[in-house]
Chains A and B, each alone.
Chain A
Amino acid sequence: MEGEPATTPTPVEIPGNIDPVRRAALAKVAELSGENVYECMQCGTCSAVCPMVDSMNFTTRQGIHYLQFGMVEKVIDARIGEYCASCHTCQVRCPRGIEVPKIFEAVRLLSLRMNEDLITLSEIPKETLEGAPQIAMVSAFRKLTA
């Protein structure tokens, strides 16, 4: 509808038994993504369709589960956000309509906004920079550099 915000953000109700530090990290993920991880019913479809899931230390479904416990740092360590290719298959298949890519973008941003690059430009081989289309550099740097 014209004039209204695209999503009316509802505050995510984080269970009281999650410790304050984790609570703050999860609240940040909720704020940046606009998504409620507690809507996830852990069906595992996102993991099943994720093209990069084998590269991640644990699956996307597990990632959401860890987030439900506020264990954001574990999700960062699992490098889910780093290996995500932003293909959005998880989003279109999620039976709850959760915008999963936004959640993992939020996790990525927790590092990036602290000026921590997730890839290092100087480590990219020169031949790659010469041979890859500009679109590859623009998208990789936007998603993975601070």
Chain B
Amino acid sequence: METAVVPEVATKTVPIFVMGKKYEVPDTLTIMKALEYAGYQYIRGCGCRGGICGACATVYRKAGDYKIYTGLACQTVVEPEMYLAQIPFYPANRASYDFEEIEATPESIFKLYPELFRCVACNACSKVCPMDVEVLDYVSALKRGDIKAAAEISFDCIQCGLCTSRCMGEMAQYHIAQLARRLYGGKLAPKAEHLQKMCDDIEAGAFDEELAKLKTLGVDDMKKIYTEREMEPAMSDESWKPASSAGLA
């Protein structure tokens, strides 16, 4: 079986502490790989392994340092004497609402999440965020009713829950921000009209003939059409137009 965990290159090992127990692990590994190297099997707290799903939130401390550090286990490389625990899930209050019915106003958010007003601006949330989201700034935006700003500032949030674990006001910031993003994207942001028109054209059957034709072709013919398709040249200017206007408005 291919041992994909340990690289071929000679490495040294470093001690890390997982929930208080010491392990020696190769120093090039991420926390996640190091835990697997040490024999832990992930059945929870692991997801995309690509830094975007938020499942592997990890809190750690370093020797002789009082500060709290955080990171995603799949992205953070181990350090000597790292003292870590994973927070795969932190209890978070999520309000129930019907997205179709809810009004896109600040008051809708205040009603569902009154704990928003318990924020004391301690900034522990921003400090702990592994994605460098300015959590305090979006909470402030929410408190002053600026749904758009809250949606924009919270964009990179991966819902890992670390902010919630540190919040003095006992808020689940990421759930509130998600509501803001949903309200903004679904009800406040200007609609892309050309997209709507394209959808309407498709539903009206503008492409039915083309599609029907393509369905009759074999794989080789499809490949031919694909490789011989007309492409916009890399350095074209605004005046460039395709030779065939089939399927265009």
Write the residues of chain A forming the contact surface with B, with a CB cutoff of 8 angstroms.
121, 124, 126, 129-131, 134, 137-138, 141-142, 145
Q: Which residue of A lies closest to B119 (CB)?
A: A138
Q: Which residue of A lies closest to B169 (CB)?
A: A141
B94 to chain A, nearest CB (A): 15
Whether A141 touches B117, Cβ cut-off 8 Å, given contacts A134-B143, A134-B144, is yes
Are B110 and A134 closer than 8 Å at their CB atoms?
Answer: yes
Tally of contacts, chain A with chain B, CB under 8 A? 29
Are B144 and A145 closer than 8 Å at their CB atoms?
Answer: no
With a cutoff of 8 Å between Cβ atoms, the chain B residues found around residue A126 in the complex are 111
Q: List residues 86-131 of chain B with CB under 8 A from any CB of chain A.
A: 107-108, 110-111, 114-115, 117-118, 120
With a cutoff of 8 Å between Cβ atoms, the chain B residues found around residue A134 in the complex are 110, 117, 143-145
Interface of A is mostly: helix
**Interface residues contributed by chain B, number (CB under 8 Å):** 12
Are B118 and A141 closer than 8 Å at their CB atoms?
Answer: yes
Q: How many angstroms between the C-alpha atoms of A124 and B113 in the bound complex?
A: 12
A137 to chain B, nearest CB (A): 4
Q: How many angstroms between the C-alpha atoms of A131 and B114 in the bound complex?
A: 12
Are B114 and A129 closer than 8 Å at their CB atoms?
Answer: yes
Q: How many angstroms between the C-alpha atoms of A121 and B145 in the bound complex?
A: 20
With a cutoff of 8 Å between Cβ atoms, the chain A residues found around residue B143 in the complex are 134, 138
A88 to chain B, nearest CB (A): 21
Are B144 and A121 closer than 8 Å at their CB atoms?
Answer: no
Whether A129 touches B118, Cβ cut-off 8 Å, given contacts A134-B143, A134-B144, A138-B143, is no
